[in-house]
């Protein structure tokens, strides 16, 4: 090689080194109001890679075109041998929310958050549904498109380059540990983001006039919100894990005979020949499984099956997957490399032919998170160091596993033009269109309430299921919360009889009926009927989720961007257009309810409240603690015991105040995706001259709602 | 460029790519019985980079030359974009210990451990002193020479390549969560180590006949164990944080007047003009600080000063350090880049001239760990994404910060040929020669006991300090533990009076003397005197630490490698050659004590116990719960109230049984490093024909021990 060539080689290498150190930042608009900043070589398997839905651009164009409150030139992105670091300016006033479904913290400013998937959520950010995504009251959202374990310093630390330290006057010595450790730096005006192991990064900015709009934009970018089947909004009941098929049928009969609304029966591990890991084959407890499915169908039940994704050697498709699985096993089972479309197809095809085609309406996808990363003894999950044939590693796979798993199975139903509604235990970003609700083994009731709100910042749905209860009061309070959530489910996987028969586990399984059982059953029936009466209202809220990206269940901050008093409220939330829920726990019969601007009605007592104030309110036991904004029209249905393709809801329109805000019922077949091709009606309810008006527009031929009455409440 | 050259360039690049994927493994012996396996490009700032001591090769050669129980060819090292993964075979029988000072777990087999520095220890491995180092009962130690956050899967997970899953018979369905999550895989014969972000790795293997020998070898490789000054083994008392110099002197007088042994008075934050961050300048509470130091010296006290390493703008050397600090501040202060010798020199020079030269005998190095990485609200530490001018990053700096800080200040004393004994709140590997004990803000008494053992697996010393107590009983039990540890310290940083004056904090600070105060003081005096009587014995144990690498305080597993019953015992430990401590907590007045092989004596009651058995034993309040192995000679000193350069210990040799095991007292000036140049005597105590024999060998001119009596106990 000649000298010149050496020099050329040297120049090439030098350029490469410099480039590798600080690659150029690229900025592009990738959808209306969505800006992508990229630098270096981002991970091959970023979350957006797996978003199968297209951005809903038309709907996104309806949102405001307000620009970012900071200059993108002030965003710092730097790369070193440890990974990529990002700085985004913060202003004095803004508050931050998000990072997926979170517990323990709500307002995230001033905190360090690490959204990492974990089966044991904690305030640092470990959660079933971690999201490297936050939204600001200043009207924007920031998403780091990575599957790595990212740390967000939400205005917690002082950066030497941003501000010089100053000598303060002598302060009084502090002697409580709390005082000593209080974060004393004078100003925290930066969001710092730490992306380890990365060679590059993509950051998505979602614009919005308000926080709510940035959430809407994110959801629309992800394909819009999920549209559950109508039956998915009824009540689900999960039977004891070792029930045989006769016991399942008997439980179905109980609900029908006792006229207790129920749409779905869920089967737990015992239906498999092997459950940890799974065989996906009916066990000998179900010798005539098809007969049972038909029997339940005859009673108008949908059947949901529990499983997880770890494939036992007894699974018929085990051999086919062996070369497309992770390097570590879980419970002796393969971890499918869902990144590989072939692996996903093997898994899905088996499910389609053997379960979906046979009438299984939905699945519960368990264990797709990770064993508790804070506990030395909890090691069932595949290690972060796991390698997969596709090239994704265990860390990335953990973050994505739940969503990839759910996408794999949801795809079967989409293909069949059949809607479904899963339970799953892990999610990530860009999943708002997945028809699936999150659940958890943790059980703090206050956490359960706040997760309805925290989930909504990132297009997630949370199902605060009812299992145990410490007392009748606890049982009823938890039931009220469960019935005001995206999914209403009683999970009796270790109870032979329904929990209201006997709350004590041992006595329940010994068939010892509690002395109050009949009274409690009556209460349960009435509360379930309350939920059923709201299905048209909630279904329409989901239509707004699909169409506008507006979360059907959401914290007050989304609807009241200028009211600083709602910023910290995580125990009240909006349902749909005009209802506000204010659940309480066993610890109190009353609670403080804050009413945002405007006037409000108690949905049950019709008592009125003035907005901008807090009231101490007694929370009833036999009703759902709901409040309605003045001017609203709420369509209330005569409760059905189940919803099927032929159900027609008899509607009473309750008009609170002058009814100045019209309400739009979403009407379609309730079970297929035809609505995506225009197969729906909008039934607009409004009031003029003191009279109710119904306008039905659209091409759907059926009638789902029969507006039978108007009830004017002044 | 010609075609040939292009081809050459292509070949070079190709080789580079392949090499980058799986670099060759190199194996070399780097010291007697220490094998280094290396692969790829290890981190520039690995822990061994900062070990200033040379391996004690001569002493290492005395240890056995038994080889590893596995073939190094069976060690797998692989590299991918996420980092390096290592597999080391495990045999069926071996148990593992280590990972630094650990709480919550002792036997580490079957656990996932992540030794990461944290101010809030937890069982996953977060600790003040994390070590990527473990030792095995099969007689070897493994150290990953990295400052990254490493995960060790200690035989927890099944690897597809190592074993094929098998179909098991139908198992009974399990319905407790615990059962469901139980780790069910059939065999866990691998240690898997996950080193994220690494481009290469060095693994050190420490050979040994037993676990104990591998620990000895590791300590000797690190320069041998620390040799504290004699006064460091007496009692330290830390005064209230806001005391002024008169109050400090008054506290000194109290100890002397009341004849309560005490060697060191420690000053807490109030001595600085600024404490969070630190100014290192005497505050106006100490207008004549030098006078106070001299006054305390006159009363034979050593002075210890609290500080941390975050440099306030008010520190005189702030400006000098500004360009040699991390990119983030802590409490408004600079984080010195201790990796840079210039930064360390600026920090040390100031300390030397202004504090050490003025008579300060030692320091307490606080806050050198990290704010709780499990809590969203705890954010005082510098972030992992911090960059330092030297090139080290925040993650690596966190792991090393405590040890670099301690080395920086210890170096001052070494240079002055003056021994010291620090308190510090963070350490890492290769620190056995550092004269420093670890402490913590956590306060579980059972944890405090077990940490004496867990620290010793990695050449660390733990100081279970006494602060609060829930009751008199709790106070005494904690005091007993504290007095049987590497350092005996009462930390009264928030108490005006000594705690035994009044345990209740508010009443203590209001000078309200407790009705039992005098009685309790008498008890304290006697217990302190017990400690003082054991100083020669403990000092000699430290000589073995220095000379043979044998931890002076260590779990029973080290002395009884074949006894499987001691494997899980973390609440008894050996002190020196022949004493066993069995502390208890406030929860019981009796405890089960297991006696390993041989016969044993109760040190106080002289009652005898047969080895290989457990006994339920009543633990006294007014004595230290110690037991002695039959055949031992224990030198017991007449208690002094303090130790200085002129102290002579009046020794009674207690002979338990036949006295067949000689005891060697280590005799030197007790304050300098002259012993490293041979300036010491060995005073060998033995028994022949029923009579005690004293043999003094060595070149030290002074007399530290006066053997005045022999006490034969049969």
- The 10s digit of each residue's pLDDT in B500-525 is 999 999 999 999 999 999 999 999 99
pLDDT of residue A573: 98
Q: Tell me if B184 and A276 make a contact (CB, 8 A cut-off).
A: yes
pLDDT band for position B530 (50/70/90)? very high
Rounded to whole angstroms, what are the CA distances from A61 to A34, A207, A209, A219, A512? 11, 11, 13, 13, 60
Rounded to a whole number, what is the distance in Å from the CA of B185 to chain A's nearest CA?
A: 5
Q: CA-nearest residue of chain B to A283?
A: B170
Chain B residues lying within 8 Å of A175, measured CB to CB:
241-242, 493-494
pLDDT band with cut points at 50, 70 and 90 for residue B588 = confident
Closest partner residue to B385 (CB to CB) among A192, A241, A313 is A192
Peptide bond into B277 cis (omega under 30): yes
Structurally, at CATH architecture level, domain B546-629 sits in Sandwich (2.60)
State CA A407 to chain mean position distance.
14
Q: Which two tokens stand for residue B237?
A: 């008392």
* Closest of B234, B221, B259 to residue B56, by C-alpha: B221
- Across the interface, whether the CB atoms of A159 and B329 are under 8 A apart is answered yes
Q: Note whether A104 contacts B: Cβ–Cβ < 8 A.
A: yes
CB-CB under 8 Å, A111 with B165: no
B436 CB contacts (<8 Å, ≥6 apart)? Answer: B226, B365, B406, B410, B421, B422, B423, B424, B427, B461
Say if residues B431 and B406 touch (Cβ distance below 8 Å). yes
In sequence order, the β-bridge partners of residue A464 are none
Q: CA separation (Å) from A450 to A89, A102, A234, A410, A571?
A: 28, 8, 22, 27, 5
Decide if B377 and A111 are in contact by the 8 Å CB cutoff: yes
Task: Choose among A649, A671, A644: nearest CA to A297.
Answer: A644
Q: pLDDT (tens digit, 9 = 90+) per residue, B165-204? A: 555 555 565 655 555 555 454 467 899 999 999 999 999 9
Closest CA to A447 of A478, A479, A470: A478
Tell me, what's the pLDDT at B65?
87
Interface contact flag, A167 B123, Cβ < 8 Å: no
Q: How many CB atoms are closer than 10 A to CB B616?
A: 9
Average pLDDT over residues B63-71: 95
Q: How many CA atoms lie within 13 A of A259 on its CB side?
A: 6
Min Cα–Cα distance to chain B from A703, Å: 45
CA distance A594 to A596: 6
Token pair for B399: 């792991």
Cβ atoms of B401 and B426 within 8 Å: the answer is yes
Under-70 pLDDT residues of chain A = 1-21, 163-187
CATH class of A230-545: alpha beta
| Contact with chain B for residue A333, Cβ under 8 A | yes
Residue A714 has a pLDDT of: 86
Report in angstroms the alpha-carbon separations of B493 from A568, B468, B490, B498: 37, 10, 9, 10
- Set of chain A residues whose Cβ sits within 8 Å of the Cβ of B85: 385
pLDDT tens digits for B385-444?
999 999 999 999 999 999 999 999 999 999 999 999 999 999 999 999 999 999 999 999
Superfamily, domain A578-714: Golgi alpha-mannosidase II (2.60.40.1180)
- Find chain A residues with C-beta within 8 A of B275's C-beta: 173
Segment B589-618, tens digit of pLDDT = 999 999 999 999 999 999 999 999 999 999
Note whether B693 contacts A: Cβ–Cβ < 8 A.
no
Tokens of A66: 């307000």
CA-to-CA distance for A547 and A550, rounded, in angstroms?
8
Give the CATH superfamily of B3-162+173-221.
glycosyl hydrolase (family 31) (2.60.40.1760)
Q: How confident is the model at residue B163 (pLDDT cuts 50, 70, 90)?
A: low
Shortest Cα–Cα distance, B45 to chain A (Å): 12
Query: What chain B residue is nearest to A155 in terms of C-alpha separation?
Result: B379
Q: Looking at chain A, how many residues does it have?
A: 714
The answer to whether the CB atoms of A441 and B177 lie below 8 A apart is: yes
State how far the Cα of A46 lies from the Cα of A63, in Å rounded to an integer. Answer: 27
**What ranges make up the beta strands (E) of B528-589?**
553-555, 573-575, 579-581
Q: Please tell me whether residue A706 adopts helix, strand or coil conformation.
A: strand
Closest-CA distance of chain B to residue A331, Å:
6
| Contact (CB, 8 A) for A262 and A643 | no
Question: Using a CB-CB distance cutoff of 8 angstroms, which residues of chain B are in contact with residue A1?
Answer: 1, 5, 8
Residue listed under structure tokens 């697996």: B457
Interface of A with B in 159-218 (CB under 8 A): 159-161, 165-168, 170-171, 173-175, 177, 180-181, 183-186, 192, 194, 196-197, 199
pLDDT in tens, A308-322: 999 999 999 999 999
Nearest to B376 among A105, A197, A384 (CB): A105
Instruction: Judge if A23-162+188-221 and A230-545 fold alike in CATH terms.
Output: no
Report pLDDT for B714: 86
Short-list A236, A319, A699, A684, CA closest to A493: A236
pLDDT value at B341 more than 50: yes
Q: Do A177 and B5 touch (CB under 8 A)?
A: no
pLDDT band for position B107 (cuts 50, 70, 90): very high
Tokens linked to B215 = 């620990």
| Residue B8's pLDDT band (cuts 50, 70, 90) | very low
Record: contact B374-A124, CB cut-off 8 A = yes
Residue in chain A lying closest to B1 (CA) = A5
The reply to whether residue A385 touches residue B151, judged by beta carbons under 8 angstroms, is yes
Q: Which fold has domain B633-713?
A: Immunoglobulin-like (2.60.40)
Q: Is B52 on the interface with A (CB under 8 A)?
A: no
Peptide bond into B34 cis (omega under 30): no
Strand A302-307, strand A264-267: pairing: parallel
Angstroms from A283 CA to nearest CA on chain B: 10
Q: Write down the domain spans for chain B.
A: 3-162+173-221, 546-629, 633-713
Cβ atoms within 10 Å, residue A298: 10
Quote the DSSP letter at residue A37.
Answer: E
Phi first, then psi: what are they for A14, rounded to 5°? -60, -45
Give me the pLDDT at residue A81, please: 85
* A173/B241 Cβ within 8 A: yes
List the beta bridge partners of residue A231. none
Residue A498 in 3-state DSSP?
coil
Q: Which residues fall within 8 angstroms of residue A357, CB to CB, at 6 or more apart?
A: none
Distance between CA atoms of residues A241 and A349, nearest Å: 26
CB A372 within 8 A of CB A120: yes
Using alpha carbons, select from A537, A486, A557, A551 the residue that is nearest to residue A224. A551
Q: Count helices and strands (H / E) in chain B.
A: 15, 34
- Pick from B113, B197, B329: which is nearest to A160 by CB? B329
Q: Inter-chain contact A334–B80, Cβ cutoff 8 Å? A: no
Residue B435 distance to chain A (closest CA, Å)? 27
Question: Domain A23-162+188-221 sits in which CATH superfamily?
Answer: glycosyl hydrolase (family 31) (2.60.40.1760)
């Amino acid at each position: 090689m000649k000298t010149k060539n050496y020099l050329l080689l040297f120049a090439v290498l030098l350029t490469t080194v410099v480039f590798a150190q600080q690659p150029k930042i690229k900025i592009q608009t990738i959808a209306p109001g969505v800006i992508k900043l990229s630098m270096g070589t981002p991970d091959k398997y970023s979350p957006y890679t797996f978003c199968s839905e297209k951005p809903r651009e038309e709907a996104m164009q309806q949102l405001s075109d307000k620009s970012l409150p900071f200059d993108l030139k002030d965003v710092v992105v730097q790369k070193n041998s440890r990974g990529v670091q990002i700085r985004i300016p913060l202003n004095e006033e803004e508050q931050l929310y998000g990072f997926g479904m979170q517990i323990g913290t709500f307002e995230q400013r001033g905190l360090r958050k690490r959204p990492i998937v974990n089966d044991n959520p904690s305030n640092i950010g470990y959660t079933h549904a971690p999201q490297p995504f936050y939204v600001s009251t200043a009207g924007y959202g920031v998403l780091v498109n990575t599957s790595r374990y990212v740390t967000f310093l939400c205005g917690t630390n002082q950066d030497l380059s941003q501000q010089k330290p100053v000598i303060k006057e002598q302060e009084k010595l502090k002697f409580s540990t709390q005082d000593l450790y209080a974060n004393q730096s004078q100003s925290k005006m930066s969001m710092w983001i730490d992306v380890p192991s990365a060679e590059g990064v993509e950051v998505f900015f979602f614009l919005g006039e308000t926080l709510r709009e940035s959430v809407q934009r994110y959801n629309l970018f992800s394909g819009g919100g999920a549209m559950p089947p109508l039956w998915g909004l009824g009540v689900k009941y999960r039977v004891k894990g070792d029930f045989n098929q006769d016991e399942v049928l008997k439980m179905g009969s109980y609900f029908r005979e006792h006229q207790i609304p129920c749409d779905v029966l869920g089967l737990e591990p015992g239906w498999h020949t092997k459950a940890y890991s799974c065989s996906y084959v009916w066990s000998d407890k179900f010798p005539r499984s098809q007969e049972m499915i038909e029997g339940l169908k005859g009673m108008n039940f949908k059947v949901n099956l529990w499983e997880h994704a770890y494939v036992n050697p007894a699974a018929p498709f085990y051999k086919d997957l062996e070369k497309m699985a992770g390097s570590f096993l879980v419970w002796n089972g393969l971890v499918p490399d869902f990144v590989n479309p072939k692996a996903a197809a093997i898994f899905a095809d088996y499910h389609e032919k053997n379960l979906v085609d046979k009438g299984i309406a939905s699945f519960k996808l368990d264990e797709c998170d990770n064993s508790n990363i804070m506990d030395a003894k909890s090691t069932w999950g595949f290690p972060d160091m796991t390698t997969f044939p596709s090239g994704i590693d265990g860390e990335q796979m953990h973050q994505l596993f739940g969503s990839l798993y759910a996408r794999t199975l949801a795809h079967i139903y989409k293909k069949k033009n059949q809607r479904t509604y899963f339970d799953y235990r892990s999610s990530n970003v860009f999943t708002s269109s997945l028809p699936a609700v999150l659940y958890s083994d943790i059980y703090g009731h206050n956490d359960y309430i706040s997760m309805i709100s925290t989930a909504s910042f990132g297009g997630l749905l949370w199902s605060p299921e009812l299992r145990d209860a410490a007392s009748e009061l606890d049982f009823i309070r938890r039931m009220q919360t469960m019935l005001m959530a995206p999914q209403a489910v009683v999970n009796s996987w270790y109870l032979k009889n329904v929990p209201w028969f006997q709350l004590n586990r041992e006595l329940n399984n010994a068939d010892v009926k509690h002395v109050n059982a009949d009274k409690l059953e009556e209460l349960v029936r009435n509360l379930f009927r309350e939920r059923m009466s709201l299905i048209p209202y909630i279904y329409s809220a989901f239509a707004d989720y699909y169409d506008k990206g507006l979360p059907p269940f959401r914290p007050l901050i989304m609807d009241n961007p200028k009211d600083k008093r709602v910023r910290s409220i995580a125990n009240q939330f909006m349902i749909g257009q005009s209802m506000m829920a204010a659940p309480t726990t066993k610890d109190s019969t009353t609670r403080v309810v804050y009413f945002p601007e405007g006037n409000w009605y108690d949905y049950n007592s019709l008592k009125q409240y003035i907005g901008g104030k807090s009231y101490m309110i007694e929370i009833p036991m036999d009703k759902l603690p709901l409040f309605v904004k003045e001017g609203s029209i709420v369509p209330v249905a005569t409760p059905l015991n189940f919803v099927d393709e032929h159900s027609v809801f008899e509607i009473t329109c309750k008009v609170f105040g002058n009814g100045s805000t019209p309400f739009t019922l979403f009407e379609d077949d309730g079970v297929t995706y035809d609505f995506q091709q225009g197969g729906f009606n909008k039934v607009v309810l409004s009031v003029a001259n003191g009279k109710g008006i119904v306008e039905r527009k659209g091409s759907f031929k059926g009638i789902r709602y029969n507006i039978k009455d108007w009830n004017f409440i002044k």
